[in-house]
Amino acid sequence: MPLAFVQPASAADVSAAVRCSVEAGLRFVARNGGHNYEANSLVGGGVVIDLINLQELKIDSKANSMTVGAGYRLGSLYSKLTLLGYVLPGSTCVGVGISGLTLGGGIGHATRALGVLADSVLAATVVLANGTVVEADSKSHADLFWAIRGGGGLYGIVTSWKFKLFKAPKQVSVVRYRFRENCTEAKYAAVLGAFNAWQPWTLPKEVALAEVQCGYDSLQVQFWYWGPMSEANKTMASSPVFKLPNSYPFIHKEYSWADFVAQRMTNLHDEMDWGNGNLLLSDMLQRLYKERSSFVAASLVPLTPLNSSAVKIIAKFMVQAQKHAFIQSRAWGGQVTAVADDFNAFPWRQAPFECQVYSNSGDARKDRSWVDGLLAAVHPLIGKAEYLNYFHCVNDPWQAYFGPHAARLQAIKKAYDPQGRIGGLYCQQDNIIDE
């Protein structure tokens, strides 16, 4: 339980809150969208600096860039940018905060086409642990600038971001196939095996997203192609996944960019949920967030494609899953690998894909034991790398989340926050479960 929440309205206010916390000897942490999987935007006995009032937005259409307050969430940004014909390579979920997402990398609907969200950052305003306000970019506070693009929110509090913007594609072709069988062990192994053989991470960047999702009672594979369906069909024809028996097209449709954003980015899976695509963003959010839910999740980031033993283990765990569990593999590659490995702090550029493991049965202990059991079983085969934005409790978080960048990030943390007052890579799950 935090001691205090503050809601500053400017970088100067954030600085005052930081100085006040330091004087009182308290730890402090920033909160943007509040989506961290282990509630790391809360700090027991400390101060939560909630950025909800930092809502400045300036779009420079000549320079194709924008400056955005660190309190924004993706949904309100997407709706504004879409009207102007721009795309930001953010998450597929509209409730996520722009800051938390960028600080951890940021993957989603445009990752293979445009890279992780952190790759689009041009500059940031940051309040340091002593309250000083600085501008960080490739020339000024270059180490800090490197760290806040994928290395987490541990080095200062970002109050605004400057991003490069990209012109949206004319159309997006969505191909989503489902399998008639539920997610049985054999079927999941076959689909994930075919996904590996297809190697979607080596496809052109027009395949902006490609994924397999195995749920408790459904199994599907999809990709989003930036171009006409005639082109997407060629990609589909080259994939062994779509040749597997007993699949059927659940969605096979070309969208304008605006319709795509409205319909596909909110994780509502059925077309009928959409009221024929005429819903306002506020209605969508209401439908999405009508209930609270709790879950346990983690990620696998294999540095090479999975071998058949790893596929078998994952498939075996899937059939032991609780209700409302899923495993989702999303291909990386494309623009993610097109920049140097140390372009910024995002550490796992060479991974072919990331795999999210999620359980939401209503029994947190069972969820946790399933997620941790699966990870422990496959780690010896694929290593222990994880994706920071799917944060979960691990023994050596610096190594698991930052691997080759861990030592450099720890040195930057020491230089910018020597007292360790800002946030942390801590694990609050046990307390929450016990409560």
> Which residue, 91 or 196, has its beta carbon nearer to ligand FAD?
91
Smaller CB distance to ligand FAD: residue 158 or 229? 158
The CB-of-79 to ligand FAD minimum distance in angstroms stands at 17
CA angle 38, 42, 48 (to 5 degrees): 155
Chain CA centroid to CA 422, Å: 22
Minimum CB distance to ligand FAD, residue 243 (Å): 28
| Residues near 23 by beta carbon (within 8 Å), at least 6 away in sequence | none
Judged on CB neighbours under 10 Å (0-12, 13-18, 19+), 372 is middle
Considering beta carbons, is residue 28 or 257 the nearer one to ligand FAD? 28
Cα 143 to the center of its chain, rounded Å = 23
**52 vs 313 by CB, closer to ligand FAD:** 52
* Minimum CB distance to ligand FAD smaller for 135 or for 231: 135
Tell me if residue 54 falls in helix, strand or coil: coil
Shortest Cβ 228–ligand FAD spacing (Å): 25
CB atoms within 10 A of CB 269: 14
Q: At closest approach, how far in Å is the CB of 2 from ligand FAD?
A: 12
Query: Are residues 255 and 174 in contact, defined by beta-carbon separation less than 8 angstroms?
Result: yes
Task: Quickly list DSSP for 328-393.
Answer: EEEE--GGGSSS-TTSSS---TT-SEEEEEEE-SS-HHHHHHHHHHHHHHHHHHH-S---GGG---
Residue placing its CB nearer to ligand FAD in the complex, 104 or 333: 104
Which CB atom, from 111 or from 247, has the smaller least distance to ligand FAD? 111
Q: Nearest distance from residue 308's CB to ligand FAD, in Å?
A: 28
- Can you tell me the distance from the alpha carbon of 121 to that of 34, in angstroms, rounded to the nearest whole number? 21
Residue nearest to ligand FAD (CB): 100
CA–CA separation, 365 and 429 (whole Å) = 10
Q: Which of 146/242 has CB closer to ligand FAD? A: 146
Please report how close the Cβ of residue 279 comes to ligand FAD at its closest, in angstroms: 19
Q: Which helix (H) or strand (E) holds 190?
A: helix 185-198
Phi/psi at 96 (5° precision): -65, 145
- Integer angstrom CA distances of residue 379 from 110, 194, 226, 301, 400: 28, 22, 34, 10, 11
User: What minimum distance in Å lies between the beta carbon of 330 and ligand FAD?
Assistant: 9
Measured from the CB of residue 140, what is the shortest distance to ligand FAD in angstroms?
18
Closer to ligand FAD by CB, 68 or 158: give it: 158
Task: Find the shortest distance in angstroms from Cβ 236 to ligand FAD.
Answer: 23
Q: Residue 35 Cβ, how far from ligand FAD at the closest point, in Å? A: 3
Whole-angstrom CA distances from 191 to 176, 182, 198, 217, 427 are 13, 12, 10, 15, 34
**Could you list the residues that contact ligand FAD (CB under 6 A)?**
29-37, 40-41, 51, 70, 91-93, 96-97, 99-101, 103-104, 106-108, 153, 157-158, 389, 423
Amino acid present at 387: Y
Cα separations in angstroms, 305 against 1, 197, 301, 353, 389: 42, 9, 10, 8, 21
128 vs 192 by CB, closer to ligand FAD: 128
